[in-house]
Structure 1
């Protein structure tokens, strides 16, 4: 298929995991892909993406990106707001810094990026936010992270209402456990990480973790004309973990 031929799409956090898989999926269907990444991060040379250094919490940088695209007369047909952080702490151990850092990246960063990109959204553009099933389940130690993702689910509804007059819509894809580098960044040693992964896998009715490519396929569906009647909605992709 070439659903995105001659289209320009933006994927934040597009150098690894779900972001990279989604950027590659867009490119495979003909899109010109712009990916953002923290300064210093790189994408593989053979992917041919346009790389923009941008931290997900950098509102000034987001505005600069929007202004640059506007000055160049470029329009975005799809945006996948994927970049974010996942840090966990118990109610006892959680700090104000963790709260501010998590919401500053996952919620505040996403909101002001969309604000900055609004002038360069093409007619009929699609924005997909990367949520999480943590917003739907009561997992201990995930309160701050889960709340930041719940904020994105709310934003999909309110921002859709604001953007519909210009033909743009916002939806959420909420992954369950996925085999991405994120799990290697949780601060566990190898043995503990294996035990945690086994425990989580046992809670998934399908009996396995999802793949970044499976999440990417849902993002592309929500970004394509075929889903034009889907607005302000969350699609959960978790192997049944939060549903059964």
Structure 2
């Protein structure tokens, strides 16, 4: 199936996990993908794996100078974008008592400011009929200890879905969100937990998931690309939850 033949995607945080899987599937279905990542090495390795239809940009969603440089860097690669998947980010967790200003600013700069200004800066490159997909999280529907700042940041991103949709309707640009549950990514790696602590956390989480497993990055990719496809042409301002039901029936 070539749903994205002659189409271009920009996928932030595309060097691994959900972003990489989405780029991979977009390319498989005929498109070309530009991915961003925080280091030259991770971008280079990912582009090599994705093949000739992939290009890379070193850009950190938490650094505004990188975000404000994105538009010109993208224009060197393509004149327009058909899919913008704002996916870059990771989680760090702390209790209400232990969270400090650095923790708060790190998450809000990356997830909230990064998302807002990535969309703002790339909007001129999005043509009529294109699609924006924001990566939110099911944590906004749950109350999880130590997730307070992360949840608040993701709730802000969630609020962007409707407001961005309202502002872009006249331009013919659809805006939706994808809300992943527990997915097999390297997201735990930035939390500061040891390998044993990560494994312990995973083992404690799995029994709470209705399907008793973490989701695959490819399962998120398929959902994102459904939202980006013509099959979702009447879906706008919506959030698609992909979490095996953990936030509703878990």
Q: TM-score range by the shorter chain?
A: over 0.9
- Residue 58 of structure 1: how far off its partner (Å): 2.6
Aligned residue among 198, 202, 206 for 2:203: 198
**Structure 2 residue 241 is the aligned partner of structure 1 residue 239:** no
**Structure 2 residue 35 is the aligned partner of structure 1 residue 35:** yes
Aligned residue among 158, 162, 184 for 2:167: 162
Match of 1:4 in 2: 4
Q: Secondary structure at the match of 1:35?
A: strand
Q: Secondary structure at the match of 1:165?
A: coil
Q: Secondary structure at the match of 1:18?
A: helix
Gaps in structure 1 of 5+ consecutive residues: none
- Residue 181 of structure 1: how far off its partner (Å): 1.1
The TM-score with structure 1 as length reference comes to 0.95
Give deviations 1:156-177, integer Å, cap 9, x for gaps: 1001111111111211111111
In structure 2, the CA distance between the partners of 1:72 and 1:236, relative to structure 1 (3 Å rule), is closer
- RMSD across aligned positions (CA): 1.4
- Residue 37 of structure 1: how far off its partner (Å): 0.7
2:22/2:221 contact within 8 Å kept: yes
C-alpha distance in structure 2 between counterparts of 1:115 and 1:66, whole Å: 10
2:35/2:55 contact within 8 Å kept: yes
In structure 2, the CA distance between the partners of 1:220 and 1:72, relative to structure 1 (3 Å rule), is closer
What are the within-5 Å matches in structure 2 for residues 173-184 of structure 1?
Answer: 173-184=178-189
Match of 2:60 in 1: 55
Q: Secondary structure at the match of 2:218?
A: helix
Aligned residue among 135, 142, 147 for 2:140: 135
C-alpha distance in structure 2 between counterparts of 1:11 and 1:129, whole Å: 10
1:160/1:169 contact within 8 Å kept: yes
- Residue 72 of structure 1: how far off its partner (Å): 6.9
C-alpha distance in structure 1 between counterparts of 2:121 and 2:47, whole Å: 27
C-alpha distance in structure 2 between counterparts of 1:169 and 1:100, whole Å: 30
In structure 2, the CA distance between the partners of 1:115 and 1:24, relative to structure 1 (3 Å rule), is same
C-alpha distance in structure 2 between counterparts of 1:157 and 1:59, whole Å: 24
Count of residues in correspondence between the two structures: 244
Aligned residue among 90, 93, 100 for 2:98: 93
- Residue 94 of structure 1: how far off its partner (Å): 0.5
**Structure 2 residue 228 is the aligned partner of structure 1 residue 220:** no
Gaps in structure 2 of 5+ consecutive residues: none
C-alpha distance in structure 1 between counterparts of 2:121 and 2:31, whole Å: 22
Give deviations 1:170-199, integer Å, cap 9, x for gaps: 111111111111123332233322221111
State the 4+ residue runs in structure 1 displaced beyond 6 angstroms: none
Most deviating of 51-60 and 5-14: 51-60
C-alpha distance in structure 1 between counterparts of 2:78 and 2:5, whole Å: 19
Q: Secondary structure at the match of 2:133?
A: strand
What are the within-5 Å matches in structure 2 for residues 137-152 of structure 1?
Answer: 137-152=142-157
